[in-house]
């Protein structure tokens, strides 16, 4: 242990030494140059005012110190932005004014041409294909204008550019079929909630039972089926459902999972809010760049391990459900036919699909709704991109294939997790059924599967030449993960994540065995020691990516890289599995007490809703940005806190009006 700590300290201090040459940094043109949006569209009462958002790429010119600075600083592509790519928000009237004194030759010299060969920009251009006219009309003016600015400010470089979109004063939003269906469904949900609540209230009035407390009324099911269905929408009833204590021994023993879910979701929202800040405009890009060179940067990068938590919990819950169902069926019948397996398989999948997909589909629908542009120059870049992708690709999300189909135009990017989780669910269920059918071989089967899915990431990483870890570099995040092979094939692929999911399955099987045999692991001193050691080891494991992430220029050796790629997530998942089994066995002292606090019951249940809406919330908040924002701890946490609170509030509404009605409806169907 001491040795590890010393080694870690040595590695960390070595990387602290990176210095950004700020003199050189300010020789580069700024990443963002946005004219005053409101003034542009409102001055002169909006007469023929146009504001264009333009993407530019600086062209090589070895004689310019700006270009030398760009190549020097952008070569740290894992830590720094690609400083060739510039965003301009141009008020066309101001452009015309600034160019009025130049003669025809000077204007011609400022033309650097159309930016056509940047595949990431092209994805945007394709999405905003309705802007083709504007693009042609304003190309020449915007290009000359931004090059004139680069010259006038003494950067001495020229940039190719292309208009992403233009806004004119007085543009109106028209409600189309998509919008109307959203409003229709929203209205229907509200009407159902009112109706359900009213019926519930009437039933309560009619009951005249002095012995029955108010709360108990909402917890007892009504008699007729029609009433039952209507009452699934009752707001009061759903509030009690949200609050409900876990029932049964397993439910009580695993209560702490709600706390895990909540904190893991906090981390996810933290990371994703940061990402959307990168997607908008930052006035001090040097600070996040410098931050990434430090130990905190390593933590940010390996923080992506947090998603493994959800895979493990998900695998665990599936297995616990499966064991409960298979036991209750076994009591009736010893040997199952193939048909029985098939029926159970179908039932598990259909129920899960409906429960997950209804709220998901609602949020997808909401993501595509056009509404009055509340934002500034970046609104469409950040928010309408999402709307357009959702309108094009919602079906990939609903089929849960969005982690490998149309990955350049992702709608609800976090949905990759749901896709990978769905694939893992199906595969695990098949494996559990095989383990059940061939009980004698089940141990071999499970061990073999675990070994296979630890090996697969290794082999794939080696063969496909992936980088050993996924690095959400500033530029990747700024480009919204478009065209990032490492993200699509390495990080979000189901194959790469199944190992961690399966660790959850194994944890549940171990937990089940322990309960069956009434074995008290709490009384085992060595297990206690192992459990508490997992905490510091986990932290060290986060830092294990440090040498890989922070090394400069030397590529990690392919074999070691591949081994690390196979182990990074799987060991984390395995450790987490042990951790969970321990806590379920009442190991954990005050950690367990804290994790079982009742507040996490509600927060934990709101996790799914918060997960599907949080990016939408973050986008709405950040897309209103009109000027580059200062990226500092205070600012960051203000945004994160706001996104977090709003996401949980939205999730609460989603739960009361949609999620809980659906789940209690499904209970009726059982």
Residues that bind ligand NAG (CB under 6 A): 21, 23-24
Give the burial string for 198-226 (b: 16+ CB within 10 Å, else e).
ebbeebeeeeeeeeeeeeebbeeebeeee
In whole angstroms, what is the distance from residue 433 CA to residue 437 CA? 6
Least separation in angstroms between CB 81 and ligand NAG: 18
Least separation in angstroms between CB 21 and ligand NAG: 4
Least separation in angstroms between CB 587 and ligand NAG: 53
> What DSSP character marks residue 401?
-
With vertex at residue 598, the alpha carbon angle to CA 595 and CA 604, rounded to the nearest 5 degrees, is 70
In the bound state with ligand NAG, the residue whose beta carbon lies nearer, of 24 and 227, is 24
In whole angstroms, what is the distance from residue 432 CA to residue 499 CA? 15
In the bound state with ligand NAG, the residue whose beta carbon lies nearer, of 552 and 630, is 552
**Residue found under tokens 């079929």:** 177
In the bound state with ligand NAG, the residue whose beta carbon lies nearer, of 23 and 518, is 23
In whole angstroms, what is the distance from residue 467 CA to residue 461 CA? 7
In whole angstroms, what is the distance from residue 635 CA to residue 630 CA? 7
Least separation in angstroms between CB 61 and ligand NAG: 15
Least separation in angstroms between CB 28 and ligand NAG: 10
In whole angstroms, what is the distance from residue 180 CA to residue 167 CA? 24
In the bound state with ligand NAG, the residue whose beta carbon lies nearer, of 28 and 282, is 28
In whole angstroms, what is the distance from residue 450 CA to residue 430 CA? 15
In the bound state with ligand NAG, the residue whose beta carbon lies nearer, of 155 and 348, is 155
Least separation in angstroms between CB 27 and ligand NAG: 6
In whole angstroms, what is the distance from residue 638 CA to residue 626 CA? 17
**Residue found under tokens 């004194």:** 101
Least separation in angstroms between CB 65 and ligand NAG: 6
User: Is 551 strand, coil or helix?
Assistant: coil
In the bound state with ligand NAG, the residue whose beta carbon lies nearer, of 43 and 72, is 72
Which value, to the nearest 10 degrees, does the dihedral of the CA atoms of residues 527, 532, 536, 541 take? 40
Q: Which two tokens stand for residue 406?
A: 């149309």
In whole angstroms, what is the distance from residue 619 CA to residue 269 CA? 12
Least separation in angstroms between CB 594 and ligand NAG: 49
In the bound state with ligand NAG, the residue whose beta carbon lies nearer, of 23 and 337, is 23
Least separation in angstroms between CB 25 and ligand NAG: 8
Least separation in angstroms between CB 70 and ligand NAG: 12
User: Is 57 strand, coil or helix?
Assistant: strand
In the bound state with ligand NAG, the residue whose beta carbon lies nearer, of 22 and 399, is 22
In the bound state with ligand NAG, the residue whose beta carbon lies nearer, of 21 and 557, is 21
> What DSSP character marks residue 564?
H
In the bound state with ligand NAG, the residue whose beta carbon lies nearer, of 54 and 66, is 66
In the bound state with ligand NAG, the residue whose beta carbon lies nearer, of 21 and 513, is 21
Residue 557 class from Cβ within 10 Å (0-12 exposed, 13-18 middle, 19+ buried)?
exposed
Residue pair 429/445 in contact by the 8 Å Cβ criterion: no
In whole angstroms, what is the distance from residue 345 CA to residue 189 CA? 31
In whole angstroms, what is the distance from residue 410 CA to residue 393 CA? 7
In whole angstroms, what is the distance from residue 201 CA to residue 242 CA? 19
Beta bridge partners of 50: 168
- Three-state SS for 364-379 is HHHHCCCCCCCCCCCH
Least separation in angstroms between CB 67 and ligand NAG: 12
Least separation in angstroms between CB 69 and ligand NAG: 6
In whole angstroms, what is the distance from residue 580 CA to residue 574 CA? 10
In whole angstroms, what is the distance from residue 588 CA to residue 551 CA? 37
In the bound state with ligand NAG, the residue whose beta carbon lies nearer, of 23 and 516, is 23
Least separation in angstroms between CB 88 and ligand NAG: 25
Residue pair 527/521 in contact by the 8 Å Cβ criterion: yes
In the bound state with ligand NAG, the residue whose beta carbon lies nearer, of 22 and 188, is 22
């Amino acid at each position: 242990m001491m040795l590890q700590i010393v080694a870690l300290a040595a590695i960390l201090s070595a990387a602290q030494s990176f210095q950004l040459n700020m003199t050189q940094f300010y020789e580069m043109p700024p990443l963002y140059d946005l004219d005053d949006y409101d003034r542009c569209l409102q001055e002169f009462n909006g007469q023929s005012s146009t504001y264009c958002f333009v993407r530019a790429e600086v062209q090589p010119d070895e004689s310019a110190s700006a270009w030398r600075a760009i190549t020097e600083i952008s070569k740290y592509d894992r830590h720094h932005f690609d400083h060739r790519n510039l965003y301009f928000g141009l008020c066309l009237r101001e452009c015309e004014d600034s160019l009025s004194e130049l003669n025809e030759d000077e204007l011609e010299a400022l033309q650097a041409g159309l930016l056509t060969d940047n595949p990431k920009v092209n994805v945007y251009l394709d999405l905003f294909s309705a802007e083709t006219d504007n693009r042609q009309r304003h190309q020449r003016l915007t290009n000359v204008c931004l090059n004139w600015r680069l010259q006038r400010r003494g950067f001495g470089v020229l940039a190719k550019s292309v208009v992403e979109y233009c806004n004119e004063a007085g543009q109106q939003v028209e409600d189309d079929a998509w919008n109307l269906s959203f409003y229709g469904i929203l209205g229907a949900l509200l009407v159902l909630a009112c109706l359900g609540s009213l019926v519930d209230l009437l039933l309560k009035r009619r009951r005249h039972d002095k012995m029955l407390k108010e709360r108990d009324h909402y917890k007892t099911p009504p008699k007729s089926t029609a009433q039952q269905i209507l009452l699934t929408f009752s707001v009061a009833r759903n509030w009690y459902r949200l609050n409900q204590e876990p029932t049964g021994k397993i439910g009580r023993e695993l209560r702490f999972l709600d706390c895990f879910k909540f904190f893991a979701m906090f981390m996810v929202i933290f990371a994703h809010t940061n990402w959307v800040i990168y997607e908008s405009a930052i006035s001090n890009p040097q600070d996040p760049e410098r931050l990434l060179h430090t130990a905190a940067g390593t933590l940010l990068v390996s923080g992506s391990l947090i998603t493994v938590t959800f895979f493990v919990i998900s695998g665990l819950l599936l297995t616990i459900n499966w064991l409960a169902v298979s036991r209750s069926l076994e009591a009736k019948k010893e040997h199952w036919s193939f048909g029985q397996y098939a029926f159970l398989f179908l039932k598990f999948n259909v129920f899960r699909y409906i429960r997950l997909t209804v709220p998901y589909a609602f949020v997808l629908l909401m993501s595509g709704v056009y509404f009055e542009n509340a934002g500034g120059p970046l609104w469409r870049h950040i928010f309408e991109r999402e709307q357009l992708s959702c309108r094009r690709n919602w079906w990939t999300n609903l089929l849960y294939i969005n982690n490998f189909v149309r990955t350049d135009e992702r709608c609800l990017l976090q949905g990759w997790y749901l896709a990978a989780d769905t694939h893992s669910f199906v595969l695990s269920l098949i494996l559990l059924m095989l383990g059940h059918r061939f009980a004698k071989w089940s141990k071999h089967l499970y061990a073999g599967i675990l070994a296979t899915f630890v090996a697969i990431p290794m082999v794939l990483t080696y063969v496909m030449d992936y980088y050993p870890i996924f690095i959400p570099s500033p530029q990747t995040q700024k480009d919204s993960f478009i065209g990032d092979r490492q993200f699509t094939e390495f990080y979000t692929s189901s194959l790469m994540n199944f190992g961690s999911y399966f660790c959850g399955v194994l944890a549940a099987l171990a937990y089940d065995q322990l309960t069956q045999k009434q074995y008290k692991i709490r009384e085992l001193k060595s297990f206690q020691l192992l459990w508490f050691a997992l905490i510091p080891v986990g932290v060290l494991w986060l830092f294990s990516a440090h040498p890989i992430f922070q090394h400069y220029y030397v590529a990690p050796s392919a074999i070691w890289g591949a081994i690390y790629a196979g182990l990074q997530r799987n060991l984390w998942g395995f450790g987490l599995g042990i951790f969970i089994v321990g806590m379920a066995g009442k190991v954990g002292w005050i950690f367990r007490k804290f994790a079982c606090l009742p507040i996490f019951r509600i927060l934990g249940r709101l996790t799914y809703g918060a997960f599907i809406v949080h990016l939408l919330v973050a986008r709405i908040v950040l897309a209103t940005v009109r000027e580059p924002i200062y990226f500092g701890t205070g600012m960051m946490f203000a945004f994160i806190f706001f996104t977090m609170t709003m996401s949980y509030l939205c999730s609460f509404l989603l739960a009361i009006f949609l999620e809980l009605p659906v789940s209690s409806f499904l209970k009726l169907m059982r």
